[in-house]
C-alpha cells in the first residue's frame, strides 16, 4: 500500500491520473466559462473511456495518453479556449486487436 493507504496504482494508471490533473490545472488558467466547458469535456471523456476501453488494451490506452498529452499541450496556449472530443464507436474500443 502507498503512503495514502489506498490501492497501489500501475504506471499507466498514474499517467492517466496525471494527465487528468494536468487538464484541470490548465483549465484554471482560462476564463470561468471556458474553465467550466473544459472541465465538462475532460470529465466526460475520461469517464467515457474508463467505461468503454478494455483495461488490457495497453496499446490503445497508450494512444489515448499520447493524444491527450498533445491536446493538453495545445490547451496550454493562451489562445486556446476549447477542447474537441473524439467519439469512437464502442466496438473499436472494447477490443481493438481481436
Express each pLDDT in 72-94 by its tens digit.
999 998 887 666 655 444 334 44
Over residues 58-71, the mean pLDDT reads 96
Q: Tell whether the torsion through CA atoms of 51, 55, 60 and 66 is positive or negative.
A: positive
77: left (phi over 0), alpha (psi -120 to 50) or beta: beta
Q: What is the pTM of this model?
A: 0.75
Which strand (E) or helix (H) includes residue 71? Answer: helix 58-75
End-to-end CA, the chain: 34
Q: What is the pLDDT of residue 28?
A: 95
DSSP-assigned letter for residue 35: H
Query: Average of pLDDT values for 51-63?
Result: 95
Domain residue extents for the chain? 22-76
DSSP state of 65: H
pLDDT at 45 over 90: yes
Q: Are 6 and 47 in contact (CB under 8 A)?
A: no
Amino acid at each position: 500500500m502507498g503512503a495514502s493507504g489506498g490501492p497501489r496504482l500501475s504506471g499507466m494508471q498514474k499517467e492517466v491520473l496525471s494527465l487528468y490533473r494536468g487538464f484541470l490545472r490548465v483549465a484554471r488558467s482560462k476564463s470561468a466559462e471556458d474553465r467550466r466547458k473544459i472541465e465538462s469535456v475532460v470529465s466526460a471523456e475520461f469517464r467515457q473511456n474508463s467505461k468503454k476501453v478494455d483495461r488490457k488494451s495497453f496499446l490503445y490506452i497508450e494512444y489515448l495518453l499520447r493524444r491527450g498529452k498533445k491536446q493538453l499541450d495545445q490547451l496550454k496556449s493562451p489562445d486556446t479556449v476549447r477542447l474537441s472530443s473524439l467519439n469512437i464507436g464502442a466496438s473499436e474500443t472494447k477490443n481493438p486487436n481481436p
